[in-house]
Structure formats: structure tokens, C-alpha cells
């Protein structure tokens, strides 16, 4: 089946998205900051237009004959399935790569004698995949204890350097850009006008040391939408300092505000959105596995409960999922009317459909 023209609103919104790859380079999305503030907001508008015109769009099959390759070095439910669904909606094929079971072990270091375990170098692996697919997606979590190296997302950068086609970060050490796009759409869905509305992004207890990618991307999303963003976490659980600077800078550019507090009650007062996430410390006593476990024991009251959603205003609850019930957040919140977590997960489909449309040349012939 061939493509047909895009729905007019989708075509008009798509045309507003700038290309951000410098000097003819591909439009990689490794942090989500690459499109710039206006490009990010245009992608969110496109996600809404795609959702609004989903049936007409699916009939037009704008990406028929094109291939997206998804590679997950770490587990996923939502990201992998929502990418599969996004491809299906656009008429594209999804090439499912499972590095643990079906790919050669990769070497990432240049000018190395490959006489160890690795069978294939990233230069050939990425280059070959770039000949098979028009966009690559990649999930690779950080190695703990090496933040200075991991914060640069070296695995993602290596694929981007050698693929010759756009590479999308499907969650890495610093960012989860697809989650950030979906979160921005969800903030708008729940609040309508987001400018000046209060987004509280709060740390929550978890037995494991979670990643900082979702916090960074969600904070950037709220800051891009002109929200009053409050990051609340216990002492010792600072996020990446440059990521926080990005949040401040986006808030300043969009007319929002950005502040950090260790006072949970102060943060939650008057919240419109309460978004919880669990992450581990970068340094200090809480950064070790046992230090984290000890810290969490005394921080269990950071779990989100129903009372936390009505501190002066009725707030919605958000979480990227997966979530540990009654550790991070109570059943009553997740099953209650103020939970937006399923809408948030659904919006992954619309955000990624929009992104693929831009990256894979969705203007039908
Ligand atoms: N939120 C999110 O990225 O979910 P998965 O880890 O299941 O992909």
C-alpha cells in the first residue's frame, strides 16, 4: 500500500519543525534539547495534531516503505511497545533488535586491538544499521559510579556518530527525550494553559537507585512550558548540575520559574501537578547501594499519598512508570481520579509518532 497526503493540520504543524542537525548532520535526539525551545514546542504541537487526526493519518501511511530500528540494551515495556505502535500508525516497519540475545558483542573504543570478547565494532554495527533503517532508537542505561563519563551518553553518541541516520535516545543516562515530549503533552492535556501553573517534581523512595533521565527530561518539559517548576528531594539526592542549569535557562526563556527545595511540605503547597520519580545519588554516602538502602529507610514519608494531592489545590499525579505501588505512591493515588499515569503513557505513542514523522520524512509524495 502506498502513501497519500498527510492530513492538512498535521502537514502544517510538521512544516513548523526546524531541522536541528548542524551542517547537514542528522537530527539526532539524544537529550531532547537539540531542537531548541521552539522546536520542542513545535514537536509537542505536532503530537497533539497527530492524536487529533490519528485515523486520517493512519490511512495516509506516510512512512510506508521506511524502517525504524529499535535497540534495547535495558528492559522496557512502554518505550518499546509505543515505538512499535507509532511505526504501525505511520505505515513504517519496526526492526526489533535485542542486543542481549541476538547481536554480536560490541566494541566502542577506537584504535583498539579487538582480541577480547567484542566481535564487532560500533563503526560497522551502526553504519550497517543506518543502511537498513532510516532512524535508529537506542536504550542504554548508565554504569553506576562513572557519572562523569556516563553523563555524556557515550553509547548513544557513538551510534549517532557512525549511523549516518537520525538516532533517538530511548532513555539514557542523562535524558529520556521521548518521555519529556509525552510529559509536555500530558501537562497541557491536564491543565490547558500551563504558564504559571505549579509542577512539583518530587523524589520518592525506591529500593533501587533509579536513573536521572526522566527527572531531567520532565523538568526541562515543565520549564519549556513556562511553568513554576519546583524540584523537591532530600539532601544528598541532587540531580546533575548542568541539567539543572538547563532547567533554569529554559524557565527563564519561557517565562517560568525554577527552584529546588528539600522541604517537601513547602513544595507540595498549591501544586497543580505532582510528578514523582526515584533516583540515586551521584556522590556522597547515599551513592553506594548500602548507603541508598539506609537513606531510603529514613525517607519513607516521601511516598506520595492522597493528602499530598490536596495541599491547597487539587493536583494531578504523574509518574513515567513502571512504579512500585505503596513504596513510591499509594494504591489510593494510582487508582484514584487524580492519577494521570495512563494518559501519560498513552501520550508516548503520540509524541513518538510526531517525532518519527519529522525524522523519517513524513511528507508523502
Ligand atoms: N516510562 C518508560 O520509559 O517506560 P519503560 O521503561 O517501560 O519503557
SS (H, E, C) the chain: CCCCCCCHHHHHHHHCCCCCCHHHCCCCECCCCCCHHHHHHHHHHHHHHHHHCHHHHHHHCCCCCCEEEEEECCCCCHHHHHHHHHHHHHCCEEEEECHHHHCCCEECCCCCCCCCCCCEEHHHHHHHHHHHCCEEEEECCCCCCCHHHHCCCHHHHHHHHHHCCCEEECCCCCCCHHHHHHHHHHHHHHHCCCCCCEEEEEECCCCCCCCCHHHHHHHHHHHHCCCEEEEECCCCCCCCHHHHHHHHHHHHHHCCEEEEECCHHHHHCCCCEEEEECCCCCCCHHHCHHHHHHHHHCCHHHCECHHHHCCCCCCEEECCCCCCECCCECHHHHCCCCECHHHHHHHHHHHHHHHHHHHCCCCCC
- Asked if pLDDT for residue 276 goes beyond 60, the answer is yes
How close is the Cα of 211 to the center of ligand 1, in Å?
Answer: 12
Q: Would residue 341 count as lying in a domain? A: no
Q: Which residue's CA is the closest to the ligand 1 atom numbered 6?
A: 76
Whether residues 168 and 276 fall in one domain: no
Q: Mind listing the pLDDT tens digit for each residue in 111-147?
A: 999 999 999 999 999 999 999 999 999 999 998 889 9
Count of the separate structural domains present in the chain: 2
Supply the range of the domain harboring residue 38.
Answer: 8-174+347-360
Residue 265, pLDDT above cutoff 50: yes
| 229: nearest Cα among 190, 186, 272 | 272
Pocket of ligand 1, beta carbon within 6 A = 76-79, 171, 179, 320-322
Say yes or no: 170 and 189 in one domain: no
Percent of the chain with pLDDT over 70: 98
Does residue 185 come out as left (phi exceeding 0), alpha (psi in the -120 to 50 range) or beta?
alpha
Give the phi and the psi of residue 347 in degrees, each rounded to 5. -65, -15
State yes or no: pLDDT of 364 exceeds 50: no
Distance from the CA of 102 to the center of ligand 1, in angstroms?
22
Same domain, 270 and 305: yes
pLDDT given for residue 174 in this prediction: 98
Write down the pLDDT at residue 362. Answer: 55
- CATH number, domain of 164, equals 3.40.50.1370
Tell me what pLDDT residue 145 has. 83
Q: Residue 33: inside a domain, yes or no?
A: yes
pLDDT at 4: 78
The predicted pLDDT at position 363 comes to 47
Question: pLDDT tens, 9-33?
Answer: 999 999 999 999 987 889 999 999 9
Statement to judge: residues 193 and 154 lie in one domain: no
Clarify whether residues 109 and 184 are in a common domain. Answer: no
- Site to probe by mutation for ligand 1, drawn from 76, 214, 221, 328 as the one with most ligand atoms within 8 Å of Cβ, is 76
pLDDT digits (tens, 9 = 90+) for 92-119: 999 999 877 778 999 999 999 999 999 9
Note whether 16 and 155 are same-domain residues: yes
Same domain? For 148 and 288 the reply is no
Q: 49 and 161 in one domain?
A: yes
The answer, yes or no, to whether residue 175 has pLDDT greater than 90, is yes
Q: Are residues 166 and 58 in the same domain?
A: yes
Q: What is the pLDDT of residue 99?
A: 79
Q: Do 137 and 276 have their domain in common? A: no
3 domain-assigned? no
159 and 271 part of one domain: no
Amino acid at each position: 500500500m502506498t502513501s497519500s497526503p498527510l492530513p492538512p493540520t498535521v502537514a502544517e504543524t510538521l512544516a513548523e519543525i526546524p531541522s536541528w542537525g548542524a551542517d547537514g548532520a542528522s537530527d539526532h535526539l539524544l537529550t531532547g534539547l537539540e531542537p531548541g525551545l521552539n522546536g520542542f514546542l513545535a514537536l509537542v504541537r505536532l503530537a497533539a495534531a497527530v492524536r487529533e487526526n490519528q485515523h486520517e493519518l493512519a490511512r495516509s501511511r506516510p512512512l510506508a516503505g521506511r524502517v525504524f530500528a529499535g535497540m534495547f540494551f535495558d528492559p522496557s515495556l512502554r518505550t518499546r511497545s509505543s515505538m512499535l505502535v507509532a511505526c504501525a500508525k505511520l505505515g513504517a516497519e519496526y526492526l526489533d533488535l535485542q542486543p542481549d540475545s541476538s547481536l554480536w558483542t560490541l566494541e566502542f573504543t577506537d584504535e583498539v586491538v579487538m582480541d577480547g570478547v567484542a566481535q564487532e565494532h560500533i563503526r560497522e554495527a551502526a553504519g550497517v544499521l543506518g543502511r537498513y533503517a532510516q532512524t535508529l532508537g537506542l536504550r542504554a542505561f548508565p554504569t553506576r559510579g562513572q557519572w562523569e563519563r556516563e553523563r555524556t551518553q557515550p553509547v548513544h553518541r557513538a551510534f549517532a556518530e557512525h549511523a549516518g541516520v537520525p538516532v533517538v535516545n530511548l532513555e539514557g543516562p542523562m535524558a529520556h527525550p521521548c518521555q519529556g515530549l509525552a510529559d509536555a503533552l500530558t501537562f497541557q492535556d491536564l491543565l490547558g494553559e500551563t504558564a504559571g501553573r505549579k509542577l512539583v517534581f518530587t523524589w520518592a523512595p525506591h529500593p533501587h537507585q533509579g536513573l536521572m533521565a526522566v527527572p531531567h527530561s520532565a523538568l526541562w518539559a515543565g520549564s519549556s512550558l513556562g511553568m513554576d517548576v519546583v524540584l523537591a528531594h532530600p539532601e544528598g539526592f541532587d540531580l546533575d548540575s548542568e541539567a539543572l542549569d538547563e532547567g533554569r535557562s529554559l524557565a527563564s526563556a519561557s517565562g517560568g520559574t525554577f527552584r529546588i527545595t528539600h522541604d517537601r511540605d513547602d513544595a507540595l503547597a498549591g501544586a497543580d501537578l505532582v510528578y514523582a520519580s526515584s533516583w540515586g545519588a551521584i556522590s556522597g554516602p547515599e551513592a553506594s547501594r548500602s548507603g541508598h538502602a539506609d537513606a531510603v529507610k529514613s525517607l519513607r514519608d516521601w511516598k506520595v499519598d492522597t493528602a499530598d494531592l490536596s495541599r491547597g489545590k487539587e493536583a494531578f499525579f504523574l509518574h513515567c512508570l513502571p512504579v512500585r505501588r505503596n513504596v513510591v505512591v499509594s494504591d489510593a493515588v494510582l487508582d484514584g481520579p487524580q492519577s494521570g499515569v495512563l494518559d501519560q503513557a498513552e501520550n508516548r505513542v503520540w509524541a513518538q509518532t510526531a517525532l518519527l514523522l519529522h525524522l523519517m520524512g513524513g511528507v508523502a509524495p
